[in-house]
Amino acid sequence: MEEKIEEEISDVASQTEIKPEEVEKSLKSIKSPRRFPIPLKILFPVLLVIIIIILVVIFNPFKKLGTISNKPTPTPTKILPTPTPTPSYNSWKTYKNEKYGFEFKYPPKGAVHGESEDIEGECGNAIKETGSEITIDNFYTIQVFDWTGTIDDYLLKKGAKDKYEFSEIKNSNADEAVKVGDIKAGKEIVSVGYPPLMYIPAIYKYNDKLFVITQVQTPKNIGGCLHPSLVDVAKYQDLKNEKWDVTKTFKFLKKNNIENCIDKNTSVKMDFSAAEKIASASCSLDGTLKQTHMCNENTGTLWIDLTPNQPKSGCNPACVIDVNTKKAEVNWRCTGLIEPTK
């Protein structure tokens, strides 16, 4: 068979002018094909292992799991903020206003506003009362005006009733008192101008008068101490950090002595608030009513001390209200206690 093939190749070679030795070489290559050095049944598993190793190195599915440990995970230490110091109000000075019947405490020392610079010094040297406005250093201004309605009525008039968070102030001896909080979410002021209760921390109602407290923002009184929010933080860090709640220091004077005056002969009684209204209408032209008062049960009269507009030597006037007739007049008490004429 092989001899026959060689003869046919020789004939073809002779016809195509191919050399016999070249044909023989090609024939040998056909007879002895190249064999793959590694059997496929071994090569395939090896390649599969190599591919798996490469994938593990690249993607490493165990990387996110981390090292398994029996040790408990430590709880992170919670760092609490440094508490803001609360002042000791007991050591503070007290401003007392007899005209309107309130008192207000302020720090004894602070950063005093000067012409060229602020220096540490005594507070309370720049308290002024101008008409119905009282300014206590550069801390707060207190505006007083007649108001027969409620605080809610005032807030509605100012357009602030539904815009702010309010809370009741207790133990102020006021008829009503509210603390002004933050503007409610969604009620932020976007129009031109200031919010209706800008810099107002508290509002009080007492004896048909409204007391609106406003924190000073622009120092005016030379020699007056600055509010902690206005001091230079670089010079007065302790003052800057001091928490001062004005509602803790502003109180109306207690209606001392009595709340009700009773005529022991007729058993007719009158409370101090009613007597004060009668006195305001009848005695205000002669002076300013104080909060100190007394009741004479024998005569059925309630006496309210009076600061006269035109003082008289040796006299200590009072507005005297008759609980039966509900009329009032000034008794000057110049030579002792003189009963008013009925």
Domain that holds residue 40: 2-58
DSSP letter for each residue of 260-280: EEE-TTT--EEEHHHHHHHHH
Do 210 and 194 fall into the same domain? yes
Q: What is the pLDDT of residue 82?
A: 52
Q: What is the pLDDT of residue 265?
A: 93
Do 13 and 39 fall into the same domain? yes
Do 301 and 190 fall into the same domain? no
In a domain, 37, yes or no: yes
Nearest CA to 298 out of 338, 263, 257 is that of 263
The two tokens of residue 84 are 């803001």
Claim: this prediction has a pTM higher than 0.75: no
CA distance 325 to 304: 17
Do 136 and 48 fall into the same domain? no
Segments of the chain with pLDDT less than 50: 64-68, 84, 191, 336-342
Total number of domains constituting the chain: 3
Do 124 and 49 fall into the same domain? no
SS (H, E, C) 33-102: CCCCCCCHHHHHHHHHHHHHHHHHHHHCCCCCCCCCCCCCCCCCCCCCCCCCCCCCHHHCEEEEECCCCE
Tell me 334's DSSP state.
S
Domain-ending residue, one of 229, 252, 275: 252
Domain-ending residue, one of 227, 252, 277: 252
In a domain, 247, yes or no: yes
Are 208 and 144 contacting, i.e. CB atoms less than 8 angstroms apart?
Answer: no
pLDDT digits (tens, 9 = 90+) for 256-300: 556 789 999 999 999 888 999 999 999 999 999 887 788 888 899
Query: Which residue type is seen at 313?
Result: S
In a domain, 31, yes or no: yes
Q: What is the pLDDT of residue 157?
A: 93
CA distance 181 to 1: 114
Q: What is the pLDDT of residue 270?
A: 93
In sequence order, which ranges of 264-331 are alpha helices (DSSP H)? 272-283
Do 224 and 126 fall into the same domain? yes
Do 122 and 199 fall into the same domain? yes
Do 144 and 288 fall into the same domain? no
Do 311 and 221 fall into the same domain? no
Do 99 and 182 fall into the same domain? yes
Edge to edge, the sheet with strand 176-183 lists 127-130, 133-136, 140-146, 209-215, 202-206, 176-183, 164-168
Do 102 and 244 fall into the same domain? yes
CA distance 10 to 180: 119
Are 298 and 307 contacting, i.e. CB atoms less than 8 angstroms apart?
Answer: no
Do 127 and 240 fall into the same domain? yes
Sign of the dihedral through C-alpha 180, 181, 184, 187:
positive
